[in-house]
Amino acid sequence: MTALVSRRQFLITGAAVSGGLLVGCGKPSAVDRLGHSEFPVDAGQVALNGWVKISPDGLVTVAVPRSEMGQGVMTALPMLLVEELDARWEDVRVEQAPVARIYANSTLMLNMVPFHADDDSVLARMVKGSVQRLGYMLSLQVTGGSTSIRDAWEPLRLAGATARALLVQAAAQRWGIAPADCQVADGQVIHGKTGAKLGFGELAHEAAALSPPSDVPFKDPAKYKLIGKPIQRNDIPAKVDGSAVFGIDVRVEDMVYAALAQSPVFGAKVASFDDTAVRQRRGVIKVLQIPQGVVVVADSWWRAKQALAELKITYAPSPNDRISSADIAQKFKSELATQKGFSYSTKGDAAEAMKQSAKVIEATYWAPYLAHAAMEPVNCVAQVKDGQVEVWCSTQSPSLAKWKASQVAGVDSDKVTLHVPYLGGGFGRRLEVDMVEQAVAIAKQLDGRAVKMLWTREEDMQHDMYRPAALSEFKAAVDAQGRVTAWSNKVVAQSMGFDAMRRLLPSMASNTPDKNQIEGAFDIPYAFDHIDVKQIRPEVHVPVGAWRSVGHSYNAFFTESFVDELAYAVGQDPCAYRRSLLNAHPRHKAVLDLAANKAAWGTPLPAGHARGIALHESFGSICAQVAEVSIVSGQVKVHRVVCVIDCGVVVNPDTVEAQMQSAIVFGLSAALFGEITVANGRIEQSSFPSYDVLHLAQMPVIETHIVPSTASPGGVGEPGTPPIAPAVTNALYALTKQRIRSLPIRLAHAQ
């Protein structure tokens, strides 16, 4: 099966990288990414490369270029470097890396290429290498796509191994021996014959003066002391005792506060506002307008918010004023019926197989818009003073945030200083830089004073970049022997990539096929003779963006539900049927088997209980989940979830387990409650009472099992989210024989 790449996509990708795919088409080498001067040093510290510096007392500081939003990068990434360096873990400190090319997340770009994960063709390798090089050239320093470990795996280990080699060389020169006669352990270089020892702090200056070796070996995995071990996360103590600083906690001397009102209808403009009375309120400093809305600046955020509530704002009429969720759903249905769509993945001739089949099975599924609903509302602190810009922002996109700040302030990027505190939840929302754009626009009008712009929960909920709503139509051909021979799928959803580019660089927004919209649908692992997967991209006024697991979040529900339907249609057990379609994918089959085994699939359950299973690959990892459910007082109760993941080499199993639990809670909240609706052009939900999440009493028991693997690391932040909804709805079908084809789960709407 092949995913189609348009000639235009191919040429654009190639031209962007060194003038063509055949010139510099490989991914950025880890050696290129070592750098040296990017990591700033304090008095006495020595940087051995752009990732690690050493103090005279032997403390080792590691640069972490990814944003910490609960996923544990402040621990897992240093583990990679320290493993190869052989420092003592208790001597390790971490710092947020500055914005620089060596910290670019080139692996993120792989999430955009239209190839199956296991496609190793020449074309696939060339395009993948090219987009990785492009990400590096563009200095895309971004946390997302479950790529933190995948991108850091090679350069951080190489940074540690190279620093180790330099320290050994420095010690060998001091002792007048060969480097091979030295050993390294616990932050010391040891003379093999005499037992003499020199600490890293004693050798750092001499090591930094040496030329790094062109080739260093990586440690034998059998000798790992950190990688693969459950290391306690080093950000937890500060988060427990309250000393951790999130974006919302930032305070700057002489800081003022801003509250913002944006049009409740997307696309509507401010027509007028009367601030006469508001300007007289205590603490109010200024009332101003920016492109996104009206702002009140005051000496406290509460006073700014209270004054804003009294501001009389009128908005100009908009063509979106009367749009409702019903209108959007009807538009999706109309486009599904009338648009041919772009064939994203084809094998054989599915249309002809349908004509020749003994039976065609059809089903249509729906998933709603979803909000990110992070616990920390959108905020940003900015100061524009003396031609310099300083920004404090909980962002997943430091490079884009810095670029946007310079653009709004009208200064060169090197005049912008960016600080990245902890994120109180990201989930893709903080890939956007609208908060930076707004805060800097406000700060420009405040004569050098720093301003903290903070959205209300209502603003956060009603001005999100939402997970797209999606409509999915399936057809499957069954031959005279009862075998499914063809799989046809059309997915209707807005393009997250197109919307994001339209916000960032409108002139470059291109209406080309979007892999993120169709991922998890075009790249199914199941073997059918004929496959045709198409995407249709409607234009809707609701802004959309990346949401935890992106297109996989809805396509897994669609595909795994329909596979379940096929199993029952041909009279097979859902787990056994999946196994029969996975002979070409042994890793998938092993994950499925382990999940079934750990969940005791097929064994009796208490009366009124049932199990459902789902299997999905995303972000380089394969995840299967078995959910045990019942119905209590008319409500779905999820008792137990067995989760199995093959994520390749595991760096910190404690983090993997935590991320599986987090992803399951996130996906289960969406499956049971999540829905953003539109009435009169505006979002109806305003806070958690109208956009509920899983409560403590509703939490199932979650058992996580990690498949031992030597494959390259996969992602873990997102792969646990896609399978949970279909696992639950498939269990509900086993229990009630009513098929849930629309989310959130409403038993009255089962079919």
Helix (H) or strand (E) segment spanning residue 214: none
Whole-number pLDDT of residue 12: 32
CA-nearest of 75, 68, 2, 81 to 34 is: 81
Contact 139, 100 (CB under 8 A): yes
Domain definitions of the chain by residue range: 31-105+141-221, 247-318+378-454, 325-369+466-749
Distance of alpha carbon 204 from alpha carbon 84, whole angstroms = 16
Whole-number pLDDT of residue 564: 98
Whole-number pLDDT of residue 9: 36
- For the domain covering 31-105+141-221, report its CATH number: 3.30.365.10
Per-residue pLDDT of 410-466, as tens digits, reads: 999 999 999 999 999 999 999 999 999 999 999 999 999 999 999 999 999 999 999
| Cis, bond preceding 377 (omega within 30 deg of 0) | no
- Report the chain's terminal Cα–Cα distance, integer Å: 32
**HSE toward the beta carbon, residue 242, CA cutoff 13 A:** 0
Query: CA distances (Å), 621 to each of 329, 549, 636, 647, in order?
Result: 32, 12, 29, 4
Per-residue pLDDT of 18-76, as tens digits, reads: 333 333 457 787 777 888 778 999 989 999 999 999 999 999 999 999 999 999 999 99
**HSE toward the beta carbon, residue 313, CA cutoff 13 A:** 21
- DSSP summary character for residue 265: B
Distance of alpha carbon 279 from alpha carbon 553, whole angstroms = 46
Query: CA distances (Å), 454 to each of 89, 347, 466, in order?
Result: 38, 50, 19
pTM (two decimals): 0.94
Tokens of 587: 């890793």
Whole-number pLDDT of residue 567: 98
Amino acid at 101: R
Distance of alpha carbon 263 from alpha carbon 346, whole angstroms = 43
Query: CA distances (Å), 521 to each of 60, 258, 392, 503, 588, in order?
Result: 45, 43, 38, 26, 16
Query: CA distances (Å), 355 to each of 323, 336, 485, 647, in order?
Result: 39, 20, 12, 40
Residue ranges in the chain whose pLDDT is less than 50 = 1-24
Q: DSSP secondary structure string, 313-326?
A: EEE---TTTT--HH
Return the CATH number of 325-369+466-749, one of 3.30.930.10, 3.30.9.10, 3.30.365.10, 3.40.50.720.
3.30.365.10
Whole-number pLDDT of residue 381: 98
Tokens of 351: 């249309």
Q: Which residue has the tokens 């509530």?
A: 309
Distance of alpha carbon 126 from alpha carbon 5, whole angstroms = 12
Whole-number pLDDT of residue 615: 99
Contact 649, 712 (CB under 8 A): yes
- For the domain covering 247-318+378-454, report its CATH number: 3.30.365.10
Q: Hey, do 31-105+141-221 and 247-318+378-454 end up sharing a CATH topology, with the first three levels equal?
A: yes
Per-residue pLDDT of 326-364, as tens digits, reads: 999 999 999 999 999 999 999 999 999 999 999 999 999
Please name the residues in contact with 343: beta carbons below 8 A apart, sequence gap of 6 or more. Answer: 4, 532, 533, 534
Handedness of CA 361, 362, 368, 370 (dihedral sign): positive
CA-nearest of 63, 61, 31, 64 to 46 is: 61
